[in-house]
C-alpha cells in the first residue's frame, strides 16, 4: 500500500470497528510511541501497526511492536491490558511466528491486491478474536477487575463475597471450540519447530489451560515450567496466578490463598512489592482472604493498595477507583456502611467526571453504592440508583448482557426488601428466563437466579413452589459444582430454610446439621458462612422448642460474629436479636431484654435512631418489658 491507500484503509477500519463498539484513535502521538492506531474497548487496548510494504517480514518489526506494547501498558495502565497487532502483506516465516508467540501480539497477513473493505473487516474480526482470547487467557496484569456486587435474596443464606475476583469471561461454546482448535494447532506447529519445552510452547499451554478452565492442565504446566524454566520464571508466576484464580472460582479458597501469597512474594522479588503487577496479586490475595472469612485482614490489604495507588497514579486513576470500590465492598462486609457509602460516593463522582455516566466502571460503582444504601436501610436512595443503572445497562449493553441481568436481579431484590413482591417476582422471572436462554440452565448465574426466585416465592407465601425450585438448584449445584462447593452449601442452607418455613422442622434440622458439618470441614469454624449455618440450625431447634440446643448454637454464632465481624456488623446485630428472642421464648425474659438493649444500641449506632430495624428492635424490647411486668 502507498500512503494514501494506507490512510484510506485505516479510515475504513475505524468505521468498521466503531460499529462493533470499539474506539479508534488513528496515528496517536504518545511521546516517542507512535502506533498507527489504538483500538480500545472496556479497558482493553490493541496497538495496530501496519507494515504492508510488499517485502519480507523483519524480526525487528515484531520486537519494536512488542516494546511498544510493553511501554503502552506501563504508560496507560489499562484495566484489561494491551495487545499488539502487526499487519503485513508478506508471508510469515514459522520461526518468526514462533518468536511472536512469546509476546502479547499477533501477526495478521493481508494478501496483496485484496479489497480494502475486506481487509478492514478481517482485521476487525481479528480484533474481536484477540479480545475473546485475551478475556479467556489473561495475564497477571489483568487479574483484577471491579466487582459488581450482586445482591442475592437468601433469607439468612450463605452469601458470596461482594468482592469479585476476576474469572474467565463466558465464551460461547462454538467460539471456545474454535479457539481451542487454534491454540492446539499452534502448540503442535511450534513444538515441531522449537521443541516441547520451549517457553513459547509452554506459554500456549497456559492459554489452553485458561481457555478450558482445566485444573489438571494448569498443575501439569506449572510442574513443567518450574522444571524447565526455573521456579522464579515470570511464566511460572503467571501460571500460578491463573491456577489460583481457577481454584478460587471452584471454591478452593484456602489453596488459592496460599498460591496468591506465594505469587506475591515471587512478584515482589522480580518487580518490587509496590509494582503494579504486585499490587494486582495483592488485591487477589485480599479477595481470597474475604472468601476464607479473613475479612478484616482483607480490608487492611485493600487500604494499603489504595494508598499506594493514590501515591503513584493520582486520585482519579482507573486503578484507584477500582481499589476504592474493593475497599468499600469490604467495609460493607464488616458492617462499616457509612464509610463504604462515603468511599463509593467519592469514587462514583470521580468516575462520572473521568468516564461519563454510561461507562461500565461508573455503572458498577453506581450499582454498589445502591447496594450500600440498601444495606443502610436507605431504600429511597437505593431503588432510584438501581433503576438508573438498569436503564443505562439496558440501553448501552442490551437487555441480555450479564451486567444488565445483574442489575435486574438487584432491583428485584430491592423491591422485595420493601415488600413490593408484585414488582419483584416478574423481574426475577425475566432474569431467570434470560440467563437460562443466554447462559444455559446449568450456568452458576442461572442457578443463582433460580435460587433468588425461590426465595421471593417464600416471601410471596408460595412455599411449596419455593421448595421445588430450591431442590432443583441443589441437585444441579451438586452435579455441576460438587457437594462441597460454597454455592452448594448455600443451596443446602436455603432449602433448609424453605423446609422450616413450610413447617417441616425435622427435615430442616437434618439438612442444617449436614450443612453446618460441611461448612466446618470446608470453610473452617470461624468463616462467616459457617456462623450463618450455626445460627440457622439454632433457629430450627428453637422452632422445635429445644431451647437448650437453640440457645447454645445461637450463643456460639453470636460469639463467633463478635470475634470475626465485630459488634457493629449487621450480622452480629442479627445474632443478638435471634439469641434474645430464643431466651425470651424459653421464659428468660430478663436475658432477652438485656440482649435487645445491646442490639438497640448497635442499631442506633449503625443504622440511626429512626431506622426501621432500630424501631423493630425497640418495639420488641418494649413487648418483652410489658410481658415481664405482667408476669410479676
Angle among Cα 361, 161, 402 to the nearest 5 degrees reads 45
For 535, residues 6+ apart whose C-beta sits below 8 A from its C-beta are 156, 553, 554, 557, 574, 575, 578
For 598, residues 6+ apart whose C-beta sits below 8 A from its C-beta are 576
Percent of the chain with pLDDT over 90: 49
User: pLDDT digit string (tens) for 296-316?
Assistant: 899 999 999 999 999 988 887
The answer to whether 250 touches 485, Cβ cutoff 8 Å, is yes
Q: What is the pLDDT of residue 570?
A: 84
Q: What is the C-alpha separation between 575 and 531, in angstroms, rounded?
A: 10
Compute the 3-state secondary structure of the chain and give helix, strand, coil in percent, each to the nearest 5. Answer: 70, 5, 25
Q: Using the structure block, give the residue that is written with the C-alpha cell 435486574.
A: 408
Q: What is the C-alpha separation between 620 and 538, in angstroms, rounded?
A: 20
Is residue 179 very low, low, confident or very high in pLDDT (cuts 50, 70, 90)? confident
Q: What is the DSSP string of 276-315?
A: HHHHHHHHHHHHHHHHTT-HHHHHHHHHHHHHHHHHHH-T
Percent of the chain with pLDDT over 70: 90
Statement: residue 138 has pLDDT above 60: no
Q: What is the pLDDT of residue 132?
A: 65
Kindly list the structural domains of the chain, giving each domain's residue range(s) and its CATH number in brackets, ordered by start: 3-136 (3.40.1350.10), 167-314 (1.25.40.10), 503-632 (1.25.40.10)
Q: What is the pLDDT of residue 156?
A: 29
3-state secondary structure (DSSP) of residue 33 = strand
Is residue 159 very low, low, confident or very high in pLDDT (cuts 50, 70, 90)? very low
Statement: residue 83 has pLDDT above 70: yes
| Better-predicted residue by pLDDT, 345 or 32 | 345
Phi, psi of 40 (to 5 degrees): -130, 150
Number of Cβ atoms within 10 Å of the Cβ of 223:
11
Please report how the helices 486-502 and 463-481 are oriented relative to each other, as an axis angle in degrees rounded to 10: 160
C-alpha cell at 102: 512469546
Q: What is the DSSP string of 372-438?
A: HHHHTT-HHHHHHHHHHHHHHHHHHH-TTSHHHHHHHHHHHHHHHHTT-HHHHHHHHHHHHHHHHHH
Is residue 173 very low, low, confident or very high in pLDDT (cuts 50, 70, 90)? low
Residue 87's DSSP bridge partners are 50, 108
Is residue 171 very low, low, confident or very high in pLDDT (cuts 50, 70, 90)? low
Average of per-residue pLDDT across 557-579: 90
Statement: residue 78 has pLDDT above 70: no
If we measure between CA atoms, which residue out of 127, 144, 31, 26 comes closest to residue 83? 127
| Better-predicted residue by pLDDT, 555 or 248 | 555
Q: What is the pLDDT of residue 147?
A: 38
Element (H, E) at 616: helix 612-631
If we measure between CA atoms, which residue out of 75, 9, 79 comes closest to residue 37? 9
User: pLDDT digit string (tens) for 544-553?
Assistant: 999 999 999 9
Q: What is the C-alpha separation between 383 and 393, in angstroms, rounded?
A: 15
Statement: residue 77 has pLDDT above 60: no
C-alpha cell at 428: 426475577
Q: What is the C-alpha separation between 176 and 626, in angstroms, rounded?
A: 66
Q: What is the pLDDT of residue 149?
A: 41
Element (H, E) at 583: helix 570-585
Count how many residues are written for the chain: 632
If we measure between CA atoms, which residue out of 209, 186, 181 comes closest to residue 101? 186
3-state secondary structure (DSSP) of residue 41 = strand
Statement: residue 291 has pLDDT above 90: no
Is residue 33 very low, low, confident or very high in pLDDT (cuts 50, 70, 90)? confident
User: pLDDT digit string (tens) for 354-392?
Assistant: 888 988 889 999 999 999 998 888 888 999 999 999 999
φ/ψ bin of 91: left (φ > 0), alpha (ψ from -120 to 50), beta (otherwise) = beta
Q: What is the C-alpha separation between 471 and 487, in angstroms, rounded?
A: 14
Output the CA torsion sign for 353, 356, 360, 363: positive
If we measure between CA atoms, which residue out of 386, 388, 332, 397 comes closest to residue 360? 397
3-state secondary structure (DSSP) of residue 47 = strand
Q: What is the pLDDT of residue 167?
A: 34
Q: What is the C-alpha separation between 594 and 179, in angstroms, rounded?
A: 63
If we measure between CA atoms, which residue out of 365, 378, 282, 301 comes closest to residue 337? 378
Is residue 175 very low, low, confident or very high in pLDDT (cuts 50, 70, 90)? low
Query: What residue spans of 83-159 are helical by DSSP H?
Result: 94-100, 116-136
3-state secondary structure (DSSP) of residue 82 = strand
Element (H, E) at 49: strand 44-51
Q: What is the pLDDT of residue 494?
A: 93
C-alpha cell at 146: 471491579
The answer to whether 52 touches 89, Cβ cutoff 8 Å, is yes
Statement: residue 143 has pLDDT above 50: no
The answer to whether 489 touches 518, Cβ cutoff 8 Å, is yes
Q: What is the C-alpha separation between 180 and 188, in angstroms, rounded?
A: 12
Q: What is the pLDDT of residue 319?
A: 86
Q: What is the pLDDT of residue 394?
A: 92
Mean pLDDT of the chain: 85
Amino acid at each position: 500500500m502507498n500512503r494514501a491507500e494506507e490512510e484510506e484503509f485505516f479510515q475504513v477500519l475505524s468505521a468498521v470497528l466503531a460499529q462493533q463498539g470499539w474506539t479508534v484513535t488513528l496515528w496517536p502521538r504518545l511521546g516517542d510511541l507512535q502506533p498507527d492506531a489504538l483500538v480500545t474497548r472496556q479497558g482493553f487496548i490493541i496497538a495496530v501497526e501496519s507494515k504492508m510494504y510488499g517485502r519480507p517480514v523483519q524480526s525487528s518489526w515484531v520486537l519494536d511492536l512488542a516494546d511498544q506494547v510493553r511501554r503502552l501498558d506501563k504508560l496507560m495502565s489499562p484495566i484489561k491490558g494491551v495487545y499488539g497487532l502487526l499487519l503485513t502483506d508478506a508471508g510469515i516465516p514459522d520461526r518468526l511466528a514462533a518468536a511472536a508467540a512469546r509476546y502479547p501480539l499477533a501477526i495478521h497477513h493481508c494478501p496483496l491486491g485484496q479489497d480494502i473493505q475486506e481487509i478492514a473487516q478481517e482485521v476487525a474480526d481479528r480484533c474481536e478474536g484477540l479480545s475473546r482470547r485475551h478475556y479467556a487467557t489473561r495475564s497477571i496484569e489483568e487479574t483484577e477487575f471491579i466487582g459488581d456486587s450482586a445482591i442475592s435474596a437468601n433469607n439468612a443464606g450463605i452469601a458470596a463475597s461482594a468482592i469479585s475476583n476476576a474469572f474467565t469471561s463466558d465464551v460461547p461454546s462454538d467460539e471456545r471450540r474454535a479457539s481451542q482448535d487454534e491454540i492446539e494447532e499452534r502448540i503442535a506447529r511450534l513444538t515441531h519447530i522449537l521443541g516441547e519445552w520451549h517457553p513459547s510452547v509452554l506459554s500456549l499451554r497456559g492459554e489452553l489451560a485458561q481457555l478450558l478452565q482445566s485444573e489438571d492442565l494448569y498443575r501439569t504446566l506449572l510442574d513443567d515450567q518450574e522444571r524447565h524454566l526455573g521456579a522464579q520464571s515470570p511464566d511460572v508466576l503467571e501460571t500460578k496466578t491463573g491456577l489460583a484464580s481457577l481454584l478460587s472460582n471452584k471454591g478452593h479458597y484456602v489453596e488459592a490463598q496460599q498460591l496468591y501469597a506465594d505469587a506475591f512474594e515471587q512478584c515482589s522479588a522480580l518487580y518490587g512489592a509496590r509494582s503494579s503487577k504486585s499490587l494486582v496479586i495483592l488485591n487477589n490475595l485480599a479477595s481470597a482472604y474475604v472468601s476464607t472469612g479473613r475479612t478484616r485482614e482483607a480490608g487492611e490489604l485493600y487500604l494499603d493498595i489504595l494508598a499506594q495507588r493514590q501515591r503513584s497514579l493520582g486520585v482519579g486513576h482507573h486503578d484507584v477507583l477500582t481499589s476504592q470500590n474493593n475497599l468499600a465492598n469490604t467495609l460493607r462486609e464488616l458492617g462499616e456502611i457509612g464509610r463504604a457509602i462515603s468511599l463509593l460516593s467519592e469514587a462514583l463522582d470521580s468516575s462520572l467526571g473521568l468516564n461519563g455516566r454510561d461507562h461500565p466502571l461508573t455503572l458498577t460503582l453506581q450499582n454498589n453504592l445502591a447496594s450500600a444504601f440498601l444495606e443502610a436501610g436507605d431504600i429511597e436512595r437505593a431503588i432510584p440508583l438501581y433503576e438508573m443503572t438498569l436503564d443505562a445497562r439496558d440501553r448501552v449493553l442490551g437487555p441480555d448482557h450479564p451486567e444488565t441481568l445483574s442489575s435486574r436481579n438487584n432491583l428485584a431484590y430491592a423491591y422485595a426488601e420493601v415488600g413490593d413482591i408484585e414488582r419483584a417476582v416478574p423481574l426475577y422471572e425475566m432474569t431467570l428466563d434470560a440467563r437460562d436462554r443466554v447462559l444455559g440452565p446449568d450456568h452458576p448465574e442461572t442457578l443463582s437466579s433460580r435460587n433468588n426466585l425461590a426465595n421471593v416465592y417464600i416471601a410471596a407465601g408460595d412455599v411449596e413452589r419455593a421448595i421445588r425450585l430450591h431442590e432443583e438448584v441443589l441437585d444441579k449445584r451438586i452435579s455441576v459444582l460438587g457437594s462441597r462447593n460454597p454455592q452448594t452449601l448455600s443451596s443446602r442452607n436455603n432449602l433448609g430454610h424453605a423446609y422450616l418455613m413450610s413447617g417441616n422442622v425435622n427435615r430442616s434440622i437434618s439438612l442444617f446439621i449436614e450443612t453446618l458439618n460441611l461448612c466446618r470441614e470446608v470453610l473452617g469454624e470461624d468463616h462467616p458462612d459457617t456462623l450463618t449455618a450455626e445460627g440457622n440450625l439454632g433457629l430450627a431447634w428453637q422452632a422445635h422448642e429445644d431451647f437448650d440446643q437453640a440457645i447454645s448454637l445461637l450463643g456460639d454464632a453470636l460469639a463467633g460474629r463478635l470475634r470475626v465481624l465485630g459488634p457493629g456488623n449487621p450480622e452480629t446485630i442479627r445474632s443478638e436479636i435471634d439469641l434474645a428472642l430464643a431466651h425470651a421464648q424459653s421464659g428468660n425474659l430478663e436475658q432477652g431484654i438485656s440482649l435487645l438493649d445491646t442490639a438497640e444500641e448497635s442499631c442506633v449506632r449503625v443504622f440511626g435512631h429512626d431506622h426501621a430495624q432500630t424501631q423493630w428492635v425497640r418495639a420488641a424490647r418494649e413487648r418483652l418489658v410489658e410481658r415481664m411486668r405482667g408476669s410479676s
